[in-house]
Amino acid sequence: MTDAVALTLDDHEAESAVLGIYRQVFAVLARNANAMVDDADSVGVDEAILRAFAGAGPVGMTIEQVVLACPNSSADVVRRRFEVLRSYRAVTRVNERAHELYYQATFAPYVMLLFLRRLSQTGGQAELHRMLSMARLALDDDDTTPEVVREQLLEMTTVFRLLANPIMQLARSATVESLRAQAQPLLGNSDLLDKARMYHNAAADRHPRLLPECTQLRMALAAYRDAVNTAAGRLLAHAGKTLALGLLPTERWRTFARDSDTEDLARALDGLLFDAPEPYFTADELLEAVEEGLMADSGRVPPPRSRSDDEQPPTEVDPDPEAKLLAARAEELLAGRDVVTVAQLLADAGDWPTGRRVLSEVTAIHLRPELPYTVTWSDGWRVDVTSTRTWVSDGWLRRDRPESA
């Protein structure tokens, strides 16, 4: 009789511990005792409170310190959320004694907040992958009993049926916009279905007596696949009629980009007109570069000095030294050719600062009518997205031939 009473007390203690953890975890979802929260702001205040406790260290914090650590929320709201967390023992006294002012927080509520945030972002896909991975590890463990595998199979069956039912309902009766907004996170998950199918096959091979449960899981997977295909087909059909390309799921774009050739990729933009990209430099910058390209000698002029009889007479000063410099530069750019493309000159320059200098020199050469060189431009332009200059207009630097008499 004593053993039976002790066993009952042990069981009650274990159940109380589990219940306590559940209360701590779901404290962030409780507005008051036994009442669920119905606004996101309250959850945000809970997160701010838990972050304040995390930064406080093992000493803990008083209620007033918690209020000061949450300046983005009113003091009344912080106090109310603090009392809710304390009622669920998510926040407890540092020392269980009378008149204790300092409190500390448990980690379980914050883990729940992290789970909720990830769940809202991925629609539960990450949790399903983790659940399947853990179930497969348990299945491969020799110590796992058939009863544990049966429970896991039933859990998987329930999860996939709960996934399939709302998607099928959206695919049949909801608007396309609502379908795209709600079902989009659940589309393009072939990896999840493959992993679930592999788990089903392994469970059926390892535990043949669990074939009824495996059959239920296989039917749930088929229902989920049908719901996803129906939703994706409706989105594709609507996108094809309205050219609303944003309705296509991400996986559809990836498959099209991987499997299509150049012509198919180009055909996707037929009928669309794009403006030419903006140049990397303005007209003022080009004029400044042209002025820099003149390469005027800015060195100091030596002072005049008296000339003795044995000195040579001064050489005649060239009235236009820039013309010779620009002509020499033009011959250097042409390199013995009569014509060279501007795109080739920019490609030979390498980086953009050097190419801009070359462009300014070519412009300066063209603007000197006394030099036998001309730069001509056309309406065409070439594109290279891998280059530092993503686009270059068609232009040519030519050496003018003297006209025959």
Decide which of 247 and 229 is more confident.
Answer: 229
* Band (4; pLDDT cuts 50, 70, 90): very low
Average pLDDT over residues 77-105: 82
pLDDT for residue 405: 39
CA 348, CA 332: separation in Å to the nearest integer? Answer: 12
pLDDT for residue 403: 47
pLDDT for residue 219: 92
Average pLDDT over residues 278-290: 72
pLDDT for residue 310: 54
Q: Is a pLDDT exceeding 60 seen at residue 224?
A: yes
pLDDT for residue 38: 55
Q: Where are the alpha helices (DSSP H) in 294-380?
A: 321-334, 342-349, 352-366
On whether the 2-116 domain is CATH 1.10.3210, my answer is no
Average pLDDT over residues 351-359: 81
Q: Is a pLDDT exceeding 80 seen at residue 34?
A: no
The contacts found for 289-297 with CB under 8 angstroms, 24 or more apart, are 289/356, 289/357, 289/359, 289/360, 290/360, 290/363, 290/364, 290/367, 292/357, 292/360, 293/357, 293/360, 293/361, 293/363, 293/364, 294/322, 294/326, 294/364, 295/322, 295/325, 296/322, 297/321
Q: What are phi and psi of 61, to 5 degrees?
A: -145, 150
> Which of 195, 184, 136, 134 lies closest to 160, judged by CA?
195
pLDDT for residue 2: 44
* Band (136; pLDDT cuts 50, 70, 90): confident
Lowest mean pLDDT among 24-38, 66-80, 103-117, 266-280: 24-38
Decide which of 181 and 248 is more confident.
Answer: 181
What is the residue extent of each domain of the chain? Answer: 2-116, 123-267, 283-294+320-399
pLDDT for residue 215: 92
The contacts found for 129-138 with CB under 8 angstroms, 24 or more apart, are 129/191, 129/192, 129/195, 131/155, 131/156, 131/159, 132/156, 132/192, 132/195, 132/196, 132/199, 133/195, 135/199, 136/195, 136/198, 136/199, 136/202
What percent of the chain has a predicted confidence (pLDDT) above 70?
Answer: 68
Q: Let me know if 395 is exposed, middle or buried by CB neighbors in 10 A (0-12, 13-18, 19+).
A: buried
Q: Is a pLDDT exceeding 80 seen at residue 6?
A: no
Q: Residue 77 CB: number of other CB atoms within 10 A?
A: 14
Q: Which amino acid would we find at residue 215?
A: T
Q: Is a pLDDT exceeding 80 seen at residue 317?
A: no
* Band (241; pLDDT cuts 50, 70, 90): low
CA 224, CA 300: separation in Å to the nearest integer? Answer: 83
pLDDT for residue 404: 45
Decide which of 346 and 122 is more confident.
Answer: 346
Lowest mean pLDDT among 98-112, 158-172, 182-196, 258-272: 182-196
CA 361, CA 338: separation in Å to the nearest integer? Answer: 17
Q: Is a pLDDT exceeding 70 seen at residue 316?
A: no
Highest mean pLDDT of the ranges 174-178, 274-278, 316-320: 174-178
Average pLDDT over residues 49-60: 84
Tokens of 16: 């109380």
Q: Quick check: helix, strand or coil at residue 392? A: strand
pLDDT for residue 171: 79
Q: Is a pLDDT exceeding 50 seen at residue 343?
A: yes
The contacts found for 74-80 with CB under 8 angstroms, 24 or more apart, are 77/41, 77/42, 77/45, 78/45, 78/48, 78/49
CA 31, CA 75: separation in Å to the nearest integer? Answer: 16
Q: Where are the alpha helices (DSSP H) in 243-349?
A: 250-259, 262-267, 283-293, 321-334, 342-349
* Band (309; pLDDT cuts 50, 70, 90): low
